[in-house]
Amino acid sequence: MKNITIKSLTAVALLASLFSCSDFLDQSSPSSLDGKNIFSTYEYAQGTIANIYQEFGEQNYRARAIWYGYNTDIEYYNSSDKADGKADLATYNAGVGNDQMNTSTGTDLWAKIYAAIERANLAIEGLREYADLTNANMKQLLGEALTLRALHYIDLINMWGDVPARLTSLNADNMYSGREDRDVIYKQLIIDLQEAQDLCAWPNEIDATQTVERVNKVFVKGLLARVCLQASGYAQRLDGENRLSTDPELSKTRLYPIALQACKDVMEQEGTYVALKSNFEDIFNNNGISGDVINAGSESLFEIGYSNNPARGRIMYTFGIKHTTADNMTTMLQGSQVGPTPTFFFDYSVKDLRRDITCCPFQWTKGVQTLQSFKSWSFGKLRYEWTNRMIPTGNDDGINRQYMRYADIVLMRAELENELNGASAAVPYLTKIRNRAFATSDRATEVTAYVAEAALSKEKMFQAIVDERAYEFAGELIRKADLIRWGMLKSKMDETKNKMKAIVSLTDYDSKHPYSQLSGHAYYKMSAYTWTRNGIETTEKDAKLNLYGLNYGEMDINPEGYTEFSDSKGEASTWIKDNALEDVIDYLYVRDPDKYQYWPIFNVNLNDNPNLSNYEWY
């Protein structure tokens, strides 16, 4: 984390004695370590919360948790065809012996998440027993602990489905728990988040909430809305069926009003405690996540914070645009491990300002942008040239993971209003997001007319929201959970496969995807590229690609002043070939994603707990 510190050497010593042992059985309870002194003193109690956050930075958390979230209809691990342990995690083909997840006992991802949950449990119990919960700062700490525990359980459920429910600190009764029906966990998380929203402070209301690396009230409410939508949505259950919960407490009728109120509460604070950035790029460039900007009160609601000295976290490493050689921007030769599916660029309106920020067909080599093959796209939301520091050689980059932003609240509200109050009630919120995505001159057709068409029915509005969440959040590890709760994971991935089959033959997929208006050729010419770091502008001569042939209707062959894309041999080559996406189509998923929505529990965890077992279809 970039800014959480323990303010007392005495606190550090106490916390080390409480939390440093990797074996939970050797941990003492707060009471036996003078829990009253720890949890009744703010500096010490805050240290117990810092220890929950600390687990985010552990190697097998920061390097493994990001593997959940792809492949989807719009996101793709660029080496999915290699059929190794990494690819298996992305292609719904992971086995219990996966070499990425079977790290040494206690250091694996499952263990690290449960370590964080145990630390949260200890903090919750200690604060409830000893803290003065009339004090705003102490209330904040309890709210943080409840929220962080909920966050970790949501991640566990997303990754593994039904998991052990440890909602008290470790004891003989829960040490070797088996799988618990996730509905039991969901109901407790909703209770916890409803409590936490009353405990936590608004952004910048107290010292602890001045940074998005700490939980605040708007994030708690956003997470509550997300949990309600997910708990009331579709998922693969213990019996293997994809269905809604049968628990009436988790019905849409029960949970949607709770989620809607949470979204309303946040939106009422726009301009005071939250804001929608006027420029989409500023969310990600050196004014935002790439620039290590962590001030609360804007669009970013919560980020998993990674140290940048020494660097921790692999966000730029995984999702940034790749640099194949050292240059003035970075010496880290990484990026583009995950990118958009090759057809996603063509899903956007040509006029959508988010398109060219999100989908980039190039990488950097010797300080120059180079056009890649049609199947090799990069996400452009994170770029080394947008950082305010030189990221050095290595695997960790210190860039935070943005866990939730305000646009998510707005689009969740659109979805909830549509379901509860009809399509017309969703219009202002879909409009709000699309207004930012288009220039003023384009809004009559791309916003007003588009939203009016969506408002003709509840079904059309829902589909527009499904699409909008793709355009807005691609590459942010949200889509997979969305598709699962909508019951659309496999169907949307199959839709993408069919789009890929159509585009390589330059055949229209439908009226919104007129692939016959592409020539299949891509051309480029170079121009100067100017970038800024810490207020200092640098211009790289002939470093920027200017492309022709990627927009519908750009059909000229050999346009004047442009050079045609060349293949690995340096020979001019058609960009969209009929066999260009064969391996992408084959490996978008290997096994049925609706049947294998979750990873298996891996051997390292099965061996540690005799009461754990995998679903019968593994």
331 pLDDT band, cuts 50/70/90, is: very high
Question: Does 4 have pLDDT greater than 50?
Answer: no
Query: What is the share, in percent, of the chain residues with pLDDT greater than 70?
Result: 95
Q: What is the mean predicted confidence (pLDDT) over 90-107? A: 93
Q: What is the pLDDT of residue 2?
A: 63
Q: What is the mean predicted confidence (pLDDT) over 54-63? A: 86
Question: Does 31 have pLDDT greater than 50?
Answer: no
Q: What is the pLDDT of residue 22?
A: 32
1 pLDDT band, cuts 50/70/90, is: low
* 116 vs 35, higher pLDDT: 116
> The tokens of 282 are what?
């500023």
Helix (H, G, I), strand (E, B) or coil at 489: helix
* 306 vs 259, higher pLDDT: 259
Q: What is the pLDDT of residue 82?
A: 87
pTM of the model: 0.94
540 pLDDT band, cuts 50/70/90, is: very high
* 200 vs 172, higher pLDDT: 200
* 133 vs 14, higher pLDDT: 133
Question: Does 17 have pLDDT greater than 80?
Answer: no
Contact 317, 338 (CB under 8 A): no
Q: What are 460-514's pLDDT values in tens digits?
A: 999 999 999 999 999 999 999 999 999 999 999 999 999 999 999 999 999 999 9
Question: Does 435 have pLDDT greater than 60?
Answer: yes
Contact 33, 18 (CB under 8 A): yes
Average pLDDT of the chain? 93
- Can you list the alpha helix ranges (DSSP code H) found in 232-319? 252-267, 315-319
Q: What are 314-323's pLDDT values in tens digits?
A: 999 999 999 9
Q: What are 514-530's pLDDT values in tens digits?
A: 999 999 999 999 999 99
Least confident stretch, 156-160, 334-338, 379-383: 334-338
**Radius of gyration from C-alpha coordinates of the chain:** 24
Q: What is the pLDDT of residue 302?
A: 98
Q: What is the mean predicted confidence (pLDDT) over 252-272? A: 99
33 pLDDT band, cuts 50/70/90, is: low
Q: What is the mean predicted confidence (pLDDT) over 135-143? A: 99
Question: Does 550 have pLDDT greater than 80?
Answer: yes
Residue 500 one-letter amino acid: M
436 pLDDT band, cuts 50/70/90, is: very high
CA distances from 473 to 14, 370, 478, 588 (A): 42, 25, 7, 19
> Residue by residue, what is the 3-state secondary structure of 566-597?
ECCCCCECCCCCCCCCHHHHHHCCCCCCCCCC
- Dist CA 458 CA 523 (whole Å): 42
Q: What is the pLDDT of residue 459?
A: 99
Identify the residue whose tokens are 């919750």.
Answer: 124
Q: What is the pLDDT of residue 18?
A: 38
- Our measurement of the distance from residue 298's CA atom to the centroid of its chain's CA atoms, rounded to an integer in Å, reads 18
* 14 vs 295, higher pLDDT: 295
Contact 141, 201 (CB under 8 A): no
Helix (H, G, I), strand (E, B) or coil at 308: strand
> The tokens of 214 are what?
């700490």
Q: What are 349-408's pLDDT values in tens digits?
A: 999 999 999 999 999 999 999 999 999 999 999 999 999 999 988 888 999 999 999 999
Q: What is the pLDDT of residue 140?
A: 99
Q: What are 201-220's pLDDT values in tens digits?
A: 999 999 999 999 999 999 99
Query: Long-range CB contacts (< 8 A, 24+ apart) of 24-31?
Result: 24/115, 24/118, 24/170, 24/175, 25/170, 25/175, 27/118, 27/122, 27/170, 29/122, 29/169, 30/122, 30/125, 30/126, 30/129, 30/130, 31/129
Question: Does 605 have pLDDT greater than 80?
Answer: yes
Q: What is the mean predicted confidence (pLDDT) over 169-192? A: 96
Question: Does 26 have pLDDT greater than 90?
Answer: no
Residue 447 DSSP symbol: I
Contact 539, 529 (CB under 8 A): yes
| DSSP letter for each residue of 28-81 | PPTGGGTHHHHHTSHHHHHHHHHHHHHGGGSHHHHTTGGGTT-S-SSEEETTGG
